[in-house]
Structure formats: structure tokens, C-alpha cells
């Protein structure tokens, strides 16, 4: 082991060994197999070289198919020591993010961390502390921060096309399959952390503000006893500075639907599709400004390839990513406050978040063509979580 080199890496973040950032993937469920690995193949500056999985079948078959160095979860420290990658993409269940992100960051590995950042404020702060000490890059995987249609919506609201934005409303639901791990882990893998993160992050960046308080009510759908959580559907109201309001519903027990609407003093914009990805998904919106209607549809792009190419650019050029750990922490502050409101039968909960200067901008847009999903996905939790 090169002690001097390892010390340098742990203090300043690992230096790339070539023109492409080498990624290790931690967890190989549906997202990793169907979207992340194909997406990386669409980039010009990234490659997958390492697989960390607790599934022996995945380690064997995916390792062979993609020529990856494979390790079990228990061998993660060995993977860190052997150094066959520069960065990790972590897509474990939410409550395991800290377990992998902190040791990786402490040893200077850059981390692209799936959302939500973690399940508690304490866990998020531990990840942030590890990143700040090492100097490695940390980015939360908000793929829509690089999707051209989403960035166009944010830009138009920011420029005042719809006047002063006052109201945000959204619905995001799916019919979760009983076998999916999200059905078995209570609130921390429930509809708010898993799906509610999308409208939370969207409205924070569309308004360009942080919410100050929240109220939430939850429901348990009859006949969905396999959903091991108190609430499989949750409706949330967020208050923002200037008496702006956001309302959204996220759920695991309905037909799949998505979309959001922003209403301003001059007009409104309705976005649908808004949160999804993959084949046939083209972000689109309809507008109405001073009575005049219009619409626009954006080309299908590879969201995972786009976010990875951007993050690799940040590593290669020593630039701090926009969707950093502070952005992830502010979302988790809201998620934690929603749980407190639910536990208090809908009581109003104050939220104390750090104000952000960084927000998504048009220059972050990526227009990579969509990678091809493999015909066969390997092992448990490798299928799409929703039935529709």
C-alpha cells in the first residue's frame, strides 16, 4: 500500500487515474441494472469498474457481463483498500446510505448518493462531515437537475414568466408490489422518502426558497396489509416565505400517476410527465399566461447518464457539484418534519433549514441519448417496484 498516496487521497479526494472516472456501484437492484449502468455507457467520461452487492448471483453474473471487480457488502473495506475505482454510486435502501458513504468519503472516494440522502438529520450531517474532512466530492443523485425540460421550467419561473409564483401542487403515486423491499421497512422506505422527495426538491428549487413549516395527514388503504407502514398515502402542505404554499400527495396504493402545477400571479405551468425516466418518457408542460395557452415537449434523454457525466466533470475539473450534501440535507429536514407531523396527528411542525445560494441552472442540462435497458435483470429487487 502506498501510504503517502493514500494519505493524499483521503485529504484532497482521489485523483483520477485516466480520462474517465471509474465508478463502483453499491447495491445492484432495479435502478442500478436498468438505468445507472446503461446510463454510464452513454457518457464520455465515466465507466463502471466495481460492483458491491450482498447477492452472490448478481456478483457472479453482472461481474462477468460488465467485467467488474465484485465484492460483497462485508468486503467493502477491502474494496476501499484495493482502489479499483475513483467514485461510488450508492443505491442501497435509504437507511444504509451512511454505512457506505462515510467510509468511502473518509478515504477520499467521491460519492454519488441516491436520494433521499439518509433517513435522519444526524445521518446526513455525519455524511457531510466526512465529505468536508476529506475534500472528496459528494453529490446527491437528483437526476432532474440535468434534464432539459425540468431546467426550463425552473428558469421560466425564475425569470417571472408566470408572475410571482404562489402555489405548487403535485401528485406522485404508484401501485407498489408486495415483494419490493420498500413495502417492508416502515416510514423510512415509505412514499414520502421514496417519492415525496421529488415534489419537495422540485418546489424548493422552483420557488428558490426553503419551507418554514409543514402539516401532513396519512391514510392506510384497505386491503394493503402487505404495506408494512402506518400510512401508504400521505398528503402534505408546506408553507414558504412570503406566504407561498405547496401541497402534494405521495402514495404506494394507487395507479401510477405524476405531475405538478405552479400557479403565479400572471399564469400557470402544468408539467406531466414530470418525475419519471426511461423509454418513452418525455418531460412536457402546458402553460397559460394572461389567458394565452401554449405547450412544449422535450426530447427523451438518459437522466442517469446525464447526472453521472456532470458529476464526473466536477471531479475531473475540481468543481463542487450543485446538488451537494446541503441540498440533500434540506430535503431530509422536510421528510423528518413530515414524520413528526404524522406522528402528531397532523400538527404543524416548524422547519429550520439552511438557505441555499446554489440552485439548478440551464448550463447543467445534459442531452445524452437513452441507454438500452438489459433484457434480463438479475436477482432479487431487480424488477420495477410498481405494478403500473
Say what the pLDDT of residue 113 is: 98
Query: How much is the pLDDT for 386?
Result: 87
- In order, the DSSP letters of 94-130 are GGGHHHHHHHHHHTT-EEEEPSSS-SSHHHHHHHHHH
pLDDT confidence of residue 65: 97
pLDDT given at position 382: 84
DSSP 14: P
Provide the pLDDT for residue 11. 52
Tell me the chain's radius of gyration from C-alpha atoms: 20
Contact of 208 with 294, CB cutoff 8 Å: no
Name the grid cell of 126: 455525519
Q: Is 133 helix (H, G, I), strand (E, B) or coil?
A: helix
pTM assigned to the model: 0.95
Whole-number pLDDT of residue 181: 86
Pairing outcome for strands 110-113 and 87-90: parallel
Q: Which residues of the chain have pLDDT under 70?
A: 1-11, 388
What pLDDT, in 10s, does the model give residues 104-154? 999 999 999 999 999 999 999 999 999 999 999 999 999 999 999 999 999
In this prediction, residue 384 carries a pLDDT of 87
Amino acid at each position: 500500500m502506498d501510504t503517502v498516496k493514500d494519505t493524499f487521497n483521503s485529504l484532497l479526494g482521489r485523483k483520477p487515474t485516466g480520462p474517465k472516472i471509474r465508478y463502483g456501484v453499491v447495491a445492484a437492484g432495479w435502478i442500478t441494472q436498468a438505468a445507472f449502468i446503461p446510463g454510464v455507457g452513454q457518457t464520455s467520461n465515466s465507466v463502471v469498474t466495481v460492483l458491491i452487492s450482498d447477492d452472490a448471483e448478481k456478483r457472479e453474473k453482472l461481474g462477468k457481463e460488465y467485467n467488474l471487480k465484485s465484492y460483497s457488502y462485508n468486503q467493502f473495506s477491502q474494496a476501499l483498500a484495493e482502489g479499483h475505482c475513483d467514485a461510488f454510486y450508492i443505491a442501497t435502501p435509504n437507511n444504509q446510505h451512511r454505512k457506505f458513504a462515510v467510509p468511502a468519503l473518509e478515504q477520499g472516494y467521491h460519492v454519488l448518493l441516491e436520494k433521499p440522502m439518509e433517513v435522519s438529520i444526524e445521518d446526513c450531517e455525519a455524511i457531510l462531515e466526512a465529505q468536508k474532512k476529506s475534500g472528496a466530492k459528494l453529490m446527491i443523485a437528483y437526476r432532474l437537475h440535468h434534464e432539459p425540460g425540468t431546467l426550463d421550467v425552473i428558469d421560466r419561473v425564475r425569470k417571472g414568466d408566470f408572475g410571482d409564483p404562489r402555489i405548487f401542487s403535485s401528485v406522485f403515486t404508484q401501485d407498489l408490489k408486495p415483494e419490493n423491499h420498500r413495502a417492508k421497512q416502515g416510514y423510512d422506505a415509505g412514499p414520502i422518502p421514496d417519492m415525496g422527495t421529488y415534489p419537495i426538491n422540485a418546489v424548493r428549487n422552483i420557488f428558490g426558497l426553503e419551507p418554514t413549516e409543514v402539516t401532513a395527514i396519512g391514510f392506510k388503504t384497505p386491503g394493503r396489509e402487505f404495506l408494512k407502514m402506518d400510512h401508504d398515502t400521505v398528503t402534505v402542505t408546506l408553507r414558504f416565505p412570503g406566504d407561498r404554499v405547496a401541497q402534494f400527495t405521495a402514495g404506494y396504493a394507487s395507479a401510477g400517476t405524476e405531475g405538478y402545477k405552479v400557479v403565479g400571479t400572471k399564469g400557470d405551468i402544468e408539467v406531466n410527465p414530470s418525475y419519471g425516466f426511461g423509454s418513452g418518457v418525455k418531460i412536457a408542460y402546458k402553460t397559460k399566461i394572461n389567458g394565452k395557452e401554449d405547450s412544449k415537449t422535450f426530447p427523451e434523454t438518459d437522466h442517469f447518464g446525464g447526472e453521472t457525466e456532470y458529476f464526473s466533470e466536477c471531479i475531473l475539473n475540481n468543481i463542487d457539484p450543485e446538488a451537494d450534501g446541503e441540498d440533500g440535507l434540506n430535503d431530509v429536514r422536510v421528510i423528518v418534519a413530515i414524520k413528526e407531523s404524522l406522528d402528531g396527528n397532523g400538527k404543524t411542525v416548524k422547519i429550520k433549514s439552511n438557505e441555499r445560494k446554489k440552485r439548478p441552472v440551464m448550463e447543467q442540462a445534459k442531452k445524452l441519448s437513452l441507454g438500452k435497458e438489459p433484457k434480463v435483470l438479475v436477482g432479487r429487487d431487480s424488477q420495477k417496484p410498481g405494478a403500473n
